[in-house]
Structure 1
Amino acid sequence: MNPSFAIVLFTTLAGSAQGLSVALAFAALAGVAPAPGVLLLALGVAQALLLVALASAFAHLGRPERAWRAAAMWRTSWMSREVIVLPAFMAAVAGWALAVWCQAPAGAQALLAAGVLALAALLWLCTGMIYACLRMVREWAHPLTVLNYALMGLCSGAVLAGALAAAAGEGAFARRLQPWALALTLLAWAGRALALRRNAALVPRSTPQSATGLRGVRVVQLSRGFTGGSHNTREFFHGASPWAVRQVKPLFLMLAFKLPALLLALPWIGVWDSTWIWGLAVLLQTLGLLAERWFFFAHVRHPQNLYYQAVA
């Protein structure tokens, strides 16, 4: 399929914002949250990421002024449910930040943190199910799709939380986050590798013969049958060569998982509150997750491309 950069950016940034909010919420509920000033800074970063993600989602719409209609099918559409849950999650993050700024009672802040946790989980479910419910795209139609959305968001959010804490001088909080960030990065790596292994073993149910109705032993399409492009040729194929697509997989595995895990695990570093270590991990992981999102969309074998293989 042809990935829209707006959707790639939306899913990456929103996932990191969710993971950052979840890391802060768990820390607050466990009684090990950073100082209120640092907590406010981190919640502000999460909200900023969500706003950028939301703006990119609007940019993807053909008629942004009709965006409100996207929520109309909430009974049957996971996308509509995502459209409803995302603003609710943003409101919960903003409400928690306001409670911290106003020095609200600890019980009220804990309740808001728990609400952030619940809405983050619900948002991951909605986002993942948009793709997992599409049975015709077998690479997506699996519970690993939802799980990996959550795991990659959690690991990127934990690493971002550590970077913010280190930059703000909260070395103790960064050191507490280090084993969690490392464990979540390894779990996300394992989950994505498992999905890649499963997808590589899939046997296509359709063939060029079944797609075209031609029963020859060898069917090769030499022409698409028309001179102009169409929705099918624009939206269902990315235009990159098979070689280029193959290079993206080792690249995102290295940037999103292997190198950040190495930075967080090497014993000779010895200083877990080092700003540059955390910052480098955030940079590499963000680039890797953007590449992973592109690969997630581009690598699927949509059945319609069997008919348009002269283009695809």
Structure 2
Amino acid sequence: MIFFTTLAGAAQGLLLVLVGIQFSVQWRLAQAPQALFIAGAAVILVLSAIGLVAATFHLGRPMRAWRSAAMWRTSWLSREVIVLPAFMAAVAVWGGFHWLGTPSAAAAIIAAVLALLLYLCTGMIYAAVKAIKEWATPMTPVNYALLGLASGLLLSTALTAWLAPGFTPLLAKLTLGAIVLSALARGATLWRNLSLVPTTTTQTAIGVRHPKIDQKAQGAMGGSFNTREFFHGKTPQAVQTIRWSAVVLGFVIPAAVLAITLGASSAVMLTLLFVVQWMGMLAERWSFFAEGQHPQNLYYRSRS
């Protein structure tokens, strides 16, 4: 899921930026080669496909993945499963119109709406889990969208540096602003999560009011499904290291480079900068999942 959400998020952000460029061209505000949109569509589809394949490894039985769409009336996961292929199909149609030399505004709008809807579905999968207070906030889908847009903007900056350099300086400035905004939103969410007071404690779980209760084991000598699926198993020091890696790689380095160069870097440098940012997004997404305090961990997190 970490690979899926970061890769698909960047692909959705790239689509939104390219749609904006398309309309600026149609409104005679700028000029852009068709190769930019064709290559962009190909990149979006490749990233989405890689993310989709990676997501199947999260399933217990990948061959039954098609059944995940059955509960679309009540499940955000089912809605995501439906919206993602629809988004990819819309991008393929949109790119096909550009390949034919006849850009379609309708195809662009449909693809953009599906990209935004996919951000909502992905974020709401976790925001709808009320038992995990760290995720159950409107900021979850907002952060997914802002971080994805920041990644997509940086990817579009690199892509235009290769194919349409005239757009690169403006996109670099927009990317810098998006990185700062996404960092502020993610920082505010992290501050909120660290300030949360748990409603369930070891004391309330077993009905003992003693101020200090230490769990020494989960009742078994080894691991279990619960320890594998609901707890990351890392030490607090490792969690802090990963969290700071997300800050440095995902926000500080990209923002610093863009602020200094303002898009004047080479296409190779901007591409490498996107890779660095994506590594930071991997750490950020791992940190997001690690922040979720599953109530069942009161029983199963510790083991002999």
Above 0.5 in TM-score?
yes
Residue 9 in structure 1 maps to residue 3 in structure 2: yes
By how many angstroms is 1:139 displaced? 0.6
Aligned to 2:106: 111
Task: Indicate how the Cα distance of structure 1 residues 19 and 33 shifts in structure 2: closer, same or farther if over 3 A, else same.
Answer: farther
Change (3 A) 1:161 1:206: same
Q: Which has the higher contact order (CA 8 A, sep 6+)?
A: 1
TM superposition shift of 1:309: 4.1
Bigger mean CA offset, 245-254 vs 299-308: 299-308
* SS of equivalent to 2:296: helix
- C-alpha contact (below 8 Å) 1:33/1:173 kept by paired residues: no
Separation in structure 2 between the aligned mates of residue 60 and residue 231 of structure 1, nearest angstrom:
14
1:198 aligns with 2:198: no
- The 5 Å alignment of 1:225-304 reads 225-266=219-260, 269=261, 272=264, 274-304=266-296
Matched residue SS, 1:303: coil
Identity %: 46
CA contact (8 A) 1:163 1:278 kept: yes
The aligned residue for residue 123 of structure 2 is 128
What are the within-5 Å matches in structure 2 for residues 52-201 of structure 1? Answer: 52-104=50-102, 106=103, 109-168=104-163, 170-201=164-195
1:66-89 alpha-carbon deviations (Å, 9 max, x no partner): 111100000000000000000000
Q: Runs of 5+ in structure 1 lacking a partner?
A: 1-6
Preserved contact between residue 227 and residue 301 of structure 2 (Cα < 8 Å):
no
Distance (Å, rounded) in 2 between the aligned partners of 1:73 and 1:271:
45
Pairwise CA distance, 1:180 = 1.1
Deviation at 1:270, TM superposition (A): 6.1
Matching residue's letter, 1:207: T
Tell me which residue corresponds to 2:302. 310
The separation in 2 between residues aligned to 1:283 and 1:33, in whole angstroms, is: 28
Q: Distance in 2 between matches of 1:141 and 1:265?
A: 34
Q: 8 Å contact 1:92–1:115 — kept in the other structure? A: yes
Q: Following TM superposition, by how much is the alpha carbon of 1:95 offset from its aligned partner in structure 2, in angstroms?
A: 0.2
The normalised TM-score by structure 2 is 0.94
The structural deviation recorded for 1:119 is: 0.4
Structure 1 Cα separation of the partners of residues 290 and 18 of structure 2: 33
Quote how far apart the aligned CAs of 1:184 are: 0.8
Q: Is 2:223–2:303's contact at 8 Å kept on the other side of the alignment?
A: no
The change in CA–CA distance for 1:114 and 1:234 in structure 2 (over 3 A counts) is same
1:144, CA displacement in angstroms?
Answer: 0.6
Spell out structure 1 runs of 4+ moving beyond 6 A. Answer: none
